[in-house]
A and B are shown apart, each in its own frame.
Chain A
Amino acid sequence: MWRRILGSRGVSKFRRDKFALVSLAVIVVYLGAAIAVALGAISRDETFARVGPNSLVGFFETPTVEQRIAYTDFYIDQVRTAGERGDDALRALDVYGLEPRFSEAEAALAVVEPLFERFEAVAIASEGDDGLDAAGLARLSEVEREARTLWVEPSGWQGTKRALSLQLGTDRQGRSILLRALYSIKVAAQIGLVAALFSVVIGTALGGAAAYFGGVVDHAIVWLYSTFSAIPYIVLLMVLASMFLGSPVENTLIPVYVAFCMTFWIGPCRVIRGEVMKLRELEYVQAATTLGFGRMRILLRHVLPNTLHLMFINFSLLFIGAIKAEVILSFLGLGVKDQPSWGVMIKEAGQEVIGGFFWQIGAATFFMFVLVLAFNVLSDALQDAFDPKHVG
């Protein structure tokens, strides 16, 4: 069985296409990530937790002196302000994956205060016209090192996880960009899957029924989708999204699903209606009628299986379409609300970009770009390999 499938012309052609295999691997990795996140590898709370200083730059950019001072300020100031408020505040100090080395406020302040004074001196010096000289930089490095010793770095898996979560930097609230971008894979896959699946099912059912039964049914369905497609798509999405404001599902993904399904079914519906109109006149459908089969049976067993390729194509188009639409909708503030998504990240990055901080928008668009590209390359390759019109 496997041997026959792997040896068939289409599959072996596909296996020779390097781009196709790479994109397939990419998609598998994405799906794996989505499943892992869904199973709890990254929790929603982790994506909202503060993991370090604000606007930490990612791994292949060296921070400027200004940024280094800001980061050091974070590590020192957290312990200092908590220490001034007492033991309880110090113990409650919560930076994801990190704990202050002290549990007694007094002991903490004894170490932090002198360090803070040295830090202040360096910070003031750096604001001068010439910036820091070599000696100043050495003092800054020393302060940085000592500031890190105020905290206990987790070891083992926790340590790796923490190190990874800082790799793409943090946003303006000190949340890990990598964790948020990874978590967004799940959100994207979820939205793409649900929206595409339901849209294709609804579109196929309505399009098939319209074409096969004709008459009043056809008129009603055509009227319905003409009406829907006459309304600009974004406006309809906005209306639908705002309809849910104040309802208990407002902050879930349900408004997004509903909005997408209500607009996306039109595409498959039109295509399938056209195809079924052609198919129902074909002789094998008439032959099925002459064999005495009922109309539902003919529609489900003889007509719709012949539109499977259209369902697949529409599914893959809508899957990507939904992911892209989610980004637009979230950017407008109408889409995903209580969890990170690429759209939410791009929206939040809006203000950062002006300040030259590109890590968040870069990560969100890169993750999305790779997925969309892989999907397009894969569907192209699948067509090349399996479309009977492209034999050779």
Chain B
Amino acid sequence: MQERTPILEVRNLSTSFRTDRGVVTAVDDVSFDLFRGETLGIVGESGCGKTVTSKSILRLLPEHLSFHSPESRVMFEGRNLAKLSERQMRSVRGDRIAMIFQEPMTSLNPVFKIGWQLDEALRYHTDLDRSARRRRAEEMLDLVEMPNAKERLDEYPHQLSGGMRQRVMIAMALCCEPDILIADEPTTALDVTIQAQILRLMENLKRELDTAIILITHDLGVVAQVADRVLVMYAGRVIEEGTVFDLFRAPRHPYTKALLDSIPRAGNRRRGQRLATIPGIVPNLFELPAGCRFQDRCLHVEERCRTEEPAHLAHGDETHPARCHFPLDHA
């Protein structure tokens, strides 16, 4: 990465939930930067804290059940989003940072027309008059390559397919030209061809509007396709960070390596050979082991891993850090 100022700076973000069994920290000391025009992928298994991280940035978690640690900082345009009032936060949401969700089938309000829903965001965040907003909504639908944009404005969500709904969602998220788009598993619920279209669309839009994207997914294929940089999360921590090229070519953390190995590949598999998996399960966040959180599933575990948790920059390479005492060497 060149010397640029990041548009979003996340430092020591910890998010905890109050539960009946006590406090559980779902996101633990996560730090990263996001630059303008970049796509940052966040990958990891279910329950590793990807979604909580993204929702913490926009403060979408229920306030009476969750809290940030005092040293958590989410710096955006010189303001710490973690400390803003709810009112100030509202002017950030939608206008400056927008988000799209995994489930396009339920992401649109079933009782209102598409046009009304697009219009509402514009009405809320801009001073445009009615006809201008209508034109803008139509432009946005054109931009997301929606066929017959004009007629679609008067249709209800149930008249659209999943892929089309996801396009509408993207149009809604982008209609105020936000600086950052957070996409939480945007293609998981779509079939593969639509998935490819949506990813290509996001790629084009990023270039056109110069928006930074945080792409949350468990699909390494998607990450390889669109992300510039990748964070790998495990049990609430970032365990490896690097450019997509570095990370895929030379994973440093054994977990990343195991994830990459478990992608099934067509062709080079012997008959009867089982698909590669990572043995064991993610540790229970209530009973985290001392030392490295991956110790129980790691093939290279040593005594030190059981007592001492590795630091973020355990081995000193700033462009490709990994939380491991014994990073894999690909030299």
Within 8 A of A (CB), among B91-116: 91-95, 98-103, 106-112
Cβ contact within 8 Å between B92 and A284:
no
Q: Is B266 an interface residue, CB under 8 A from the partner?
A: no
> What's the minimum C-beta distance from A301 to chain B, rounded to whole angstroms?
8
Q: Is B324 an interface residue, CB under 8 A from the partner?
A: no
10 closest Cβ pairs, A-B complex: A292-B94, A291-B94, A292-B93, A290-B99, A283-B107, A283-B101, A284-B109, A292-B90, A283-B106, A291-B121
Q: A302-B109, A308-B111 are in contact. Are A286 and B90 (CB under 8 A)?
A: no
- Stretch touching chain A among B24-32, B58-66, B140-148, B308-316: B58-66
Within 8 A of A (CB), among B78-93: 90-93
Cβ contact within 8 Å between A287 and B111:
no
Per the bound structure, the CA–CA distance linking A301 and B116 in Å amounts to 11
Q: Is B169 an interface residue, CB under 8 A from the partner?
A: yes
Q: Is B125 an interface residue, CB under 8 A from the partner?
A: yes
Cβ contact within 8 Å between B124 and A287:
no
> What's the minimum C-beta distance from A219 to chain B, rounded to whole angstroms?
11
- Residue in chain A with minimal CB distance to B87: A294
Q: Is B172 an interface residue, CB under 8 A from the partner?
A: yes
5 new A-B contacts at CB < 8 Å, known A290-B60, A290-B94, A292-B91 = A287-B107, A288-B109, A291-B121, A305-B111, A306-B109
Per the bound structure, the CA–CA distance linking A294 and B85 in Å amounts to 12
Cβ contact within 8 Å between A283 and B103:
yes
- Residue in chain B with minimal CB distance to A308: B111
> What's the minimum C-beta distance from B245 to chain A, rounded to whole angstroms?
31
Cβ contact within 8 Å between B90 and A294:
yes
Per the bound structure, the CA–CA distance linking A163 and B112 in Å amounts to 55
> What's the minimum C-beta distance from A294 to chain B, rounded to whole angstroms?
6
- Residue in chain B with minimal CB distance to A294: B90
Q: Is A214 an interface residue, CB under 8 A from the partner?
A: yes
Q: A214-B64, A215-B64, A287-B169 are in contact. Are A292 and B110 (CB under 8 A)?
A: no
Interface size class of B (residues with CB under 8 A): 20 to 34
Q: Which residues of B contact A283 (CB under 8 A)?
A: 101-103, 106-107
Q: Please tell me which one of the listed residues B95, B109, B112, B182 contacts residue A292 in the complex, with CB atoms under 8 A apart.
A: B95
**Chain A binding site: helix, strand, loop or mixed by DSSP?**
helix
Q: Which residues of A contact B101 (CB under 8 A)?
A: 283, 286-287
Q: Is A282 an interface residue, CB under 8 A from the partner?
A: yes
Q: A292-B93, A293-B124 are in contact. Are A306 and B111 (CB under 8 A)?
A: yes
Per the bound structure, the CA–CA distance linking A305 and B91 in Å amounts to 24
Could you list which residues of chain A lie within 8 angstroms of chain B, going by C-beta atoms?
Answer: 214-215, 282-284, 286-294, 301-302, 305-306, 308
Cβ contact within 8 Å between B107 and A289:
no
Q: Which residues of A contact B111 (CB under 8 A)?
A: 305-306, 308
Q: A283-B101, A308-B111 are in contact. Are A290 and B93 (CB under 8 A)?
A: yes
Query: 25 A-B Cβ contacts within 8 A?
Result: A283-B102, A283-B107, A284-B106, A284-B108, A286-B101, A287-B100, A287-B108, A289-B60, A289-B93, A290-B58, A290-B94, A290-B173, A291-B120, A291-B121, A291-B125, A291-B172, A292-B91, A292-B92, A292-B93, A293-B94, A294-B90, A305-B111, A305-B112, A306-B109, A308-B111
- Residue in chain B with minimal CB distance to A303: B109
Q: Which residues of B contact A294 (CB under 8 A)?
A: 90
> What's the minimum C-beta distance from A211 to chain B, rounded to whole angstroms?
12
- Residue in chain A with minimal CB distance to B109: A284
> What's the minimum C-beta distance from B216 to chain A, rounded to whole angstroms?
13
Per the bound structure, the CA–CA distance linking A214 and B100 in Å amounts to 25
Q: Which residues of A contact B110 (CB under 8 A)?
A: 284, 306
> What's the minimum C-beta distance from B166 to chain A, rounded to whole angstroms?
11
Per the bound structure, the CA–CA distance linking A68 and B68 in Å amounts to 90
> What's the minimum C-beta distance from A328 to chain B, rounded to whole angstroms?
37
> What's the minimum C-beta distance from B73 to chain A, rounded to whole angstroms?
21
Q: Please tell me which one of the listed residues B64, B90, B99, B169 contacts residue A293 in the complex, with CB atoms under 8 A apart.
A: B90
Q: Which residues of B contact A288 (CB under 8 A)?
A: 109
Q: Which residues of B contact A308 (CB under 8 A)?
A: 111
Contact digits for B172-184, partner A, Cβ 8 Å, 1 yes 0 no: 1100000000100
- Residue in chain B with minimal CB distance to A297: B124
- Residue in chain B with minimal CB distance to A302: B109
Per the bound structure, the CA–CA distance linking A215 and B64 in Å amounts to 7
Q: Which residues of B contact A302 (CB under 8 A)?
A: 109
> What's the minimum C-beta distance from A288 to chain B, rounded to whole angstroms?
8
Looking at A289, A305, A306, A308, which has the most chain B CB atoms within 10 Å of its CB? A289
Q: Which residues of B contact A289 (CB under 8 A)?
A: 58, 60, 93
Per the bound structure, the CA–CA distance linking A293 and B92 in Å amounts to 10
Within 8 A of A (CB), among B39-62: 58, 60, 62
Contact digits for B121-134, partner A, Cβ 8 Å, 1 yes 0 no: 10011000000000
- Residue in chain B with minimal CB distance to A305: B111
Per the bound structure, the CA–CA distance linking A71 and B197 in Å amounts to 90
